[in-house]
Structure 1
Amino acid sequence: MPFGINDSIRAGTCRSPLVSRTNESRRPTLVTVSFSCSRYDLEADKLYSITWYKDHEEFYRYVPRGEPMKHSYRVEGVKVDHRQSNHQQVLLQDVSLHSSGQYKCEVSAEAPSFNSVSAEASMEVVVLPQDGPSITGEEKVYATGDVLGMNCTSGSSYPAAILKWFINGEQVKPDTEMAFEQHGLYSVISSLRLQLEPDHIAGDKINV
């Protein structure tokens, strides 16, 4: 069997695949994520190094005969936990939106073969809204012919939330929709303007 990785790089223990923000700062809460690169077969060769890249930039190298064995490099969005990183996994701390990207693990053998193989995996960090969408502009009483005018605003998130309007269980198209960005997070405002017909207020109630 040739020297190689039996399986592609796989995400290991991912404590949280999503990044959520706090109520106070409205910024992403810092989490950790682990990538594993352990299922490879050296056969008669000896391991020279395990090298990790993000978007083609090297950020971590493990050399069992090196001094020191572990070394990390500055790459945006990447902060290596040296204590929990080794020849089988790399643990990233303080994961943020900048941590999204393509990750690659490269396994290299010592002389005389100098064989080298690699595998890749992508990671995307998303930020969920802290709260559900809020609707404003509703009136207490409506009659046939009135214009139903409302705004629906999503909480800050990444990527931007997709808002949909439903009147009595049936989807209707919004008039306008705008997204606003702050600190890399997006808030969406969707506006609905609809002239009410008799079917809309059947049963003396409008469900929005």
Structure 2
Amino acid sequence: MLIIRAFFSFIIVSGTCWRCMCYSRIQELGSPRQKLDGLRHVRVFVPVAVKEGDNAVLMCFFDLNGDSLYSVKWYKGGREMYRYMPREVPSVKVFPITGLSDLFIEKTKSNGTHLFLKKVTINLSGRYSCEVSADAPSFRTALVSGDMNIVVVPSAFPEIKGMKARYKLGDTLEVQCVSKDSRPAANLTWSLNGRVLDSEYVKQANIKRDSEKGLETAVSTLTLSLHHHHFVGGRIKAKCTASIHNIYWQTTENSAGEEKPKDAEPSTSISKDALQPSNVPKEGQKKDDSANSRGHCCYCASHIFERLKASYVRVPFSLQLVCLYILRYNIIS
């Protein structure tokens, strides 16, 4: 079969090119090539954020595709700190890094794909790189990196400041939320009665840095003109949420009541002269006889009763009964 195909190629192509054509055809049919890609698909998984004092696990995965693994190395900021070589004894080696005395690698839990860090501190934030090297036949090397942040979470809940006990319609609600001593500064969001507020009502968080502690404090201000729909059941509930990456989330909620305007109340004060009829004897004048006194008493009770009604004063029922009783039976006091 090979001789026949070469013969036809010689007839079609003249000159020296027929040799190249015949050779290429023979290679394709007689000895097919074996494709060995070797080391590829190196990928690293570095946690984005880890709470200070917790353990951290860094992972590095790869496909050898026919190659043999020569070594896996981990770097912190370009300096080697860990090496795994399966053909050596011991296979795991740890290298100290100057200035990072708080870097502790658990050898028994680390291998060619996993790197176990114990009780990380804030100094260990930064870039970590995994370098994978293959042995024969490809001798390939690949380096992949990822960043890790060590987080110091606040020791207390966020605090809402400046909230009054009561607000009226049209008042301005202006309160602050403070989340102290963290790194990085907490992200602060506001909600009112369970609904997240738009950014137009929130002043962008102000970050205060403590150079001695190396920690940060976040401050956010909410300013909102209150309307009827802001009061649910006669109250408003303002909530502040502080969060850092996916490892810290705390909320604080304060509430205030609605102060309703007082209704206009009629004056309840009645002058002394208004309660005294005009024909009642004044001081120093001679009093009338008993008949006149009876008439004056009845007139007085009637006059007081009418004056109270005219003044829109709510007359107690007991007083009404007394006046009516006096008028009915002409009782002399």
TM superposition score normalised by structure 1: 0.70
Q: 1:185 corresponds to which residue?
A: 215
| Cα deviations by residue, 1:170-201 (Å, 9 ceiling, x for unpaired) | 62523574222343432212234555455555
Out of 33, 38, 45, which is 1:10 matched to? 45
| Separation (CA, whole Å) in 1 of partners of 2:167 and 2:61 | 64
CA contact (8 A) 2:67 2:137 kept: no
Higher relative contact order (CA 8 A, sep 6+): 1
CA contact (8 A) 2:160 2:176 kept: yes
- The structural deviation recorded for 1:52 is 0.9
Out of 93, 110, 124, which is 1:99 matched to? 124
- The structural deviation recorded for 1:86 is 2.7
* Identity level (%): 31
Q: 1:115 corresponds to which residue?
A: 140
- Note the aligned Cα RMSD (angstroms): 3.5
The verdict on how the C-alpha distance between 1:42 and 1:142 changes in structure 2, with shifts beyond 3 A counting, is closer
The verdict on how the C-alpha distance between 1:93 and 1:42 changes in structure 2, with shifts beyond 3 A counting, is farther
| Separation (CA, whole Å) in 2 of partners of 1:170 and 1:3 | 52
Q: Greater share of strand residues, 1 or 2?
A: 1
Consecutive unaligned residues of structure 2, counting only runs of 5 or more, are 1-35, 239-333
Q: 2:202 corresponds to which residue?
A: 174
Q: 2:331 corresponds to which residue?
A: none
Say how many residue pairs are matched. 195
Q: Greater share of helix residues, 1 or 2?
A: 2
Q: 1:126 corresponds to which residue?
A: 151
Check if 1:35 corresponds to 2:73: no
| Separation (CA, whole Å) in 1 of partners of 2:116 and 2:152 | 20
Q: 2:12 corresponds to which residue?
A: none
TM superposition score normalised by structure 2: 0.48
CA contact (8 A) 1:50 1:61 kept: yes
* Structure number, greater radius of gyration: 2
Out of 21, 26, 50, which is 2:72 matched to? 50
Q: Give, as a single letter, the amino acid of the residue that structure 2 aligns with 1:135.
A: I
CA contact (8 A) 1:179 1:189 kept: yes
